[in-house]
């Protein structure tokens, strides 16, 4: 491992002075990288995550190629669900498909508990390999948030409207809150395993919670999120929270004991600041812009970086969602370089 550890992102999270604005990309590992696509000809996502050497290679590759200030563990938010009894399969072109969806209270009480060392040792081994031998930047571990995980578990797969999920939420509160509590406990235990193995930052993906309005979020979701975030913070580990299309939940998110508030591209950093956000923010270039000519990309990067530098808290540059498979690795490398150069402290 390189002896010079790049702590820029950890400093930004704490609001400390850093040499430049740190950058990493959601879904930076895989998808758009030719080396990864070559691996996928031979191995499934499941195969890759179960082989620590290959998984570590995929995780570290974008750090080497793009010079990002953090690595994000290559895995799926569905990873811990099999261990508690969810029959989930990642189907190409569809996403997670669950053959035993949650329908009633007894389905929730039938779920087991995760023991990371027993159930996902390959995840822990990958983390150890990366943090003890390979990386000179922080490793971001992650978990899905209870609502987002529950949406798959209730719908049986991806959804556009979350009708079944909301129907349970509104009509069967006992089952709903039991499921939220069960998933929060699972995530805390799962994250604890990641942190003990060496992950230095945790991102909570609440990708689909923007489907709820603020009052429903506060009643049905915020209690379990307070529990989840507090459980991770007890590990002395910083927490990033991210969701898509959730600008209307910024106030509720800011009330959570998170360290970093992830913004998608719909709300600017200055608008978040005007709403009273003083925490470190992460974001938030629309990933579609990465398919535009460089002069367009650069013109969109500058205001985000300017607003980040002016923000009361720190700023971590990222996209407003994940990297598309069509994005050129050269573009990501160039973006990371531009962020570093443009924000370098003179």
pLDDT at 161: 94
Q: Is 164 exposed, middle or buried (0-12, 13-18, 19+ CB in 10 A)?
A: middle
In the chain, domain spans: 7-344
The CATH class of 7-344 is alpha beta
CB 323 within 8 A of CB 288: no
> What tokens appear for 63 in the block?
């750090």
Which residues does residue 138 pair with via DSSP β-bridges, in sequence order?
none
- Reported as a single tens digit per residue, the pLDDT across 39-98 is 999 998 889 999 999 999 999 999 999 999 999 999 999 999 999 999 999 887 888 999
pLDDT the model gives residue 90? 85
- Strands 315-319 and 88-91, bridge-based pairing: unpaired
Question: Can you say which residues are annotated as belonging to the binding site for substrate?
Answer: 27-31, 46, 76, 152, 207, 321
pLDDT band at 30 (very low <50, low <70, confident <90, very high): confident
Q: Where are the beta strands (DSSP E) in 243-321?
A: 260-262, 280-285, 315-319
Beta carbons of 78 and 96 less than 8 angstroms apart: yes
The phi and psi torsions of 285 (rounded to 5 degrees) equal -70, 135
Q: Check if the beta carbon of residue 52 is closer than 8 Å to that of residue 126.
A: yes
**Do the strands 239-242 and 71-72 form a parallel or antiparallel pair, or are they unpaired?**
unpaired
The pLDDT of residue 92 is 79
Phi, psi of 235 (to 5 degrees): -85, 5
Q: Residue 233 and residue 292: Cα distance in Å, rounded? A: 39
pLDDT of residue 281: 98
Average pLDDT over residues 148-173: 96
Kindly state the helix (H) or strand (E) to which residue 309 belongs, with its residue range.
helix 294-310
- Are 21 and 318 in contact by the 8 Å Cβ rule? The answer is no
Residue 285 to residue 34: CA distance in whole angstroms: 23
Annotated binding site: 27-31, 46, 76, 152, 207, 321
């Amino acid at each position: 491992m390189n002896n010079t550890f790049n702590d820029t992102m950890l400093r930004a999270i704490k609001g400390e002075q850093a040499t430049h604005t740190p950058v990493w990309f959601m879904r930076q590992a895989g998808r758009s990288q030719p080396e990864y696509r070559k691996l996928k000809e031979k191995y499934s996502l499941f195969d890759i995550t179960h082989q620590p050497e290959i998984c570590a290679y995929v995780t570290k590759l974008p750090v080497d190629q793009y010079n990002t200030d953090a690595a994000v563990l290559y895995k799926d938010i569905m990873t811990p669900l099999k261990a508690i009894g969810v029959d989930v399969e990642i189907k190409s072109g569809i996403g997670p498909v669950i053959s035993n969806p949650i329908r009633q209270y007894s389905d929730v009480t039938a779920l087991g508990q995760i023991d990371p060392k027993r159930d996902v040792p390959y995840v822990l081994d990958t983390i150890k390999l990366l943090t003890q031998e390979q990386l000179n930047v922080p490793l971001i571990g992650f978990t899905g948030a209870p609502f987002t995980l529950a949406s798959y578990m209730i719908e049986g797969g991806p959804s556009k409207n979350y009708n079944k999920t909301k129907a349970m939420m509104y009509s069967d509160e006992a089952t709903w809150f039991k499921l939220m509590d069960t998933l929060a406990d699972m995530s805390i235990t799962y994250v604890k395993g990641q942190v003990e193995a060496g992950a230095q930052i945790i991102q909570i993906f609440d990708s689909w919670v923007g489907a709820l309005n603020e009052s429903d979020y506060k009643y049905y979701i915020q209690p379990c999120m307070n529990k989840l975030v507090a459980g991770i913070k007890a590990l002395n580990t910083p927490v990033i929270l991210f969701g898509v299309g959730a600008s209307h939940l910024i106030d509720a998110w800011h009330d959570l004991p998170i360290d970093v508030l992830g913004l998608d591209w719909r709300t600017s950093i200055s608008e978040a600041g005007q709403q009273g956000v003083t925490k470190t923010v992460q974001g938030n270039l629309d990933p579609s812009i990465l398919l535009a000519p460089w002069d367009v990309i650069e013109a969109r990067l500058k205001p985000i970086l300017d607003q980040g530098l002016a923000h009361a808290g720190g700023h971590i540059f990222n996209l407003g969602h994940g990297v598309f498979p069509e994005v050129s690795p050269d573009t990501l490398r160039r973006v990371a370089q531009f962020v570093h150069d443009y924000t370098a402290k003179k």
